[in-house]
Amino acid sequence: MNVDQFLLDLVVVLFAAKAGGEIAHRLNQPAVLGELLGGMIFGASVLGVLASHVHFLQLLTIGPKSSSYPVLFICAQIGMILLLFEAGLETDMDELFKLGVSALWVACLGVVLSFVGGYFAMRLMHVSNAGALFVGAAISATSVGITARSFSDLDKSRSKEAKIVLGAAVADDIIGLIILAVMSGFAMNRMSAVGACKTAVAAVLFLVVAVVLGRYLAPKIMDLAHRMKTRSALATASLIFCFILAILANYAAGLSPIIGAFAAGLVLAKTSHKLHFIKQLQPVASVFIPVFFVLTGALMPVNAINPASAAGRTVILQTLLLFAVAAIAKVIAGVSVPERNTNRIAVGVGMIPRGEVVLIFAGYGIQSGALSQGLYTAVLLVVMLTTFVTPPLLKAVLGSSSNEKGGLLTSEAVQQTVPAA
């Protein structure tokens, strides 16, 4: 792929994002829904080539094991990293910790209900024990991306609900890791409680060290960068900090890189340069973030459903059943949150999206033979459904103003406060 081809793809993606976002806005929906739909429409027509040679799985699973990706996919990943970095920058760490018990409660109950619900739903449909276990594990953990984006679209990034959901989603990623350690042991016929513990300890340790050490070191590093005279030194330093934590999260702790980026945002939000970071990040982020959502839309396996065949109807039935379990489990977890003055349904709805973890489990499951091709498709379709329903549902339950600009300081807000030079 040369730079011309890349620029052409990028132009199509950015156009799909803005056209879709604009239409969604006019229909009083979050922009992210428009980007997903824009991706689906352009994915089938203009970007058709992309969908054929790059697998949906590749988009969401990132790790040291993955092979070479097209450039656009790297951009999508960076978009996710910047999205969570932005979410971290807009989250007050102390408030997040105060809500920690609620977040943990939502995370644990949501995972348990999804796992158990998914397992029994599949057993009811005569899926093998191993297959049902994999499906249960796959749909257990919430993906933080869609929710963070929807809260941002609705200008609710700093609400109590957003903080509980973000905290719970981070916890979900750690719980997901532990389940993965157990399940991959299961897939290789050797359960390892020690391995699962090691994974969990590494993940928690990473977050604690990153936050404690970061909170001590970050102000010093950023003040140093602030004293530098070269162009954009401070903004670049914040990006370097974010990228290093993203890399460490993955390499050192096996966590998703976006969890590291969120931790970096949390830490930098405590420095005196927070507003500068948010402002400088915004234009970079608004180029990269839509790439992720448009590609997600473009790569949805919509053509995998064939209602004409018996197998196709089974996939559809499994998908709908799993989707119902996935949504209800998280809503129950959210509604039961032990927190006053909270829109609990919004917390539950915010926990609905599934993403990375599902796709990792689906990959493991199909490799180990526990998941059939049909079940695999059903699980991917659940990702798609949860992704599509969350933005409008969240908008409905939050009943907010239709401010789609998002973020603490939007470009337009900055624009208006700067006198024309």
Residues between 66 and 105 that touch a second copy (CB under 8 A): 66-69, 71, 73-74, 77-78, 81
Type of residue numbered 20: G
Chain centroid to CA 18: 20
Q: What is the DSSP string of 242-301?
A: HHHHHHHHHHHH---HHHHHHHHHHHHTTSTTHHHHHHHHHHHHHHHHHHHHHHHHHT--
CA 218 – CA 88 distance, rounded (Å): 14
Q: Which stretch binds a second copy (CB under 8 A): 101-109, 115-123, 212-220, 240-248?
A: 240-248
Residue numbers 367-386 binding a second copy by CB under 8 A: none
- Name the minimum Å distance from CB 372 to a second copy: 29
For a second copy, which is the closer residue by CB, 129 or 411?
411
For a second copy, which is the closer residue by CB, 14 or 320?
14
Q: Which stretch binds a second copy (CB under 8 A): 86-94, 105-113, 232-240, 332-340?
A: 232-240
**Closest to 386 measured CA to CA, from 366, 345, 358, 360:** 358
Residue numbers 246-265 binding a second copy by CB under 8 A: 246-247, 250-251, 257
363 interacts with a second copy by CB under 8 A = no
401 interacts with a second copy by CB under 8 A = no
For a second copy, which is the closer residue by CB, 64 or 307?
64
Residue numbers 262-301 binding a second copy by CB under 8 A: 275-276, 279-284, 286-287
Residue numbers 17-36 binding a second copy by CB under 8 A: 17-18, 21-22, 24-26, 31, 34
CA 188 – CA 195 distance, rounded (Å): 13
320 interacts with a second copy by CB under 8 A = no
- Name the minimum Å distance from CB 107 to a second copy: 26
CA 170 – CA 211 distance, rounded (Å): 14
- Spatial neighbors of 210 by CB under 8 A, at least 6 apart, are 245, 248, 249, 260, 263, 264, 267
- Name the minimum Å distance from CB 267 to a second copy: 17
409 interacts with a second copy by CB under 8 A = yes
Instruction: Specify the DSSP class assigned to residue 142.
Output: B
**Closest to 238 measured CA to CA, from 21, 88, 77, 101:** 88
